[in-house]
Structure 1
Amino acid sequence: MAIKPVLLTALTAGTVGGGATGVYFLLKPDAPVAKPKTKTLKEVMGTNGFEALDTEGNTDNDTWKKLIAKYTADSTAVEVAKIAITGEIEKSPSDDHVANIDKFKKACKNLLEKTEGYDGDKVTVINWCNKQSKLISDS
C-alpha cells in the first residue's frame, strides 16, 4: 500500500511539470523572424535593365554634362519633371560644370539609395540618373 502515495506523487509532479512547460512555451515570445533585406531603388530598377550613372567617380561626367544642359535649357525643351537638386544649378559655369555635376550626383545618389517610398521617384531616376536616359538620346 505504500506504493500508491509514491505513485500518486510522481504522477502529480509529472502532470504539473508538463503543464508548466506547456504554459512556458505558450507565453514565451516568438524567436525574432529575420526580415527580408529591403532593396534600394537602384537594386529594384536594376532588375528592369536600368543602369545607373556613376555617382562616385568621373566615369560618366560627359553624360552628366548632357543632362545638365537639358536641365538648364528652356522649360519647353524638357518635357519631363526635373529632378530636385539641392542648391542652384549654374547655367554658364566657369568650372566646366564640376559643381553642377556634384549636385546632380548627390541628388541621384540620394534617390537611388532610398529603401522605401520611392515609387514616385522611379520615373525621375529613369530620366535623370540613367545611362540610357531618353534625355541623352534626344541631344
Structure 2
Amino acid sequence: MTAQLRAFVNLVTRTPAGRVIVELIGQAQTDPDLSAAFLARYSRPCRDLAVERMRTAQAHGQLCAGIDPEVLVDQLWGACYHRLLMPTPPLAEEFAANLVTNLMARSPAFRLTGRTGPEWTDGGSGPRQGGPRG
C-alpha cells in the first residue's frame, strides 16, 4: 500500500499529469459534463482498482477481513487529495508513508496479518504507475 500511495503522490506532485489532474478536479466542480467524464474515465476506474487490490489482499490473508476496502481507499487517497487541493501543508511521499503507518500501527482493525505477497510490499509493484487515484 505504501508503494502505491507514494507512486500516486509522485505522479500528482512531480509530473505534468499531476497539474492536469488538479485542474480537471477544479473545473469538474462547476462543469457537470466534465465531472461525469472525469469520474467515468479516470476517478472511478482507479478507485475500483484500488478497492479490488484491497479485497485481493484480504482474500490472501494479507489484510484483516474486517476492514472495509472502500473506506480504506477513501482514508488513504482522500487524505492525499485533500493535501493536493489544499496544499498547506504540501503533499509529499513521506506523508503518504505516514498515512499507512498510522492506520496500520495505531488501529488493531488495520493490522497486517503477517502473511505478505510481493504486491503488498514496498517493493514498488502496484496496480499501475501512480496507483489508485479516485
Higher relative contact order (CA 8 A, sep 6+): 2
Which has the larger helix fraction? 2
Same fold (TM over 0.5): no
TM-score between both structures, scaled by the size of structure 1: 0.30
Larger Rg: 1
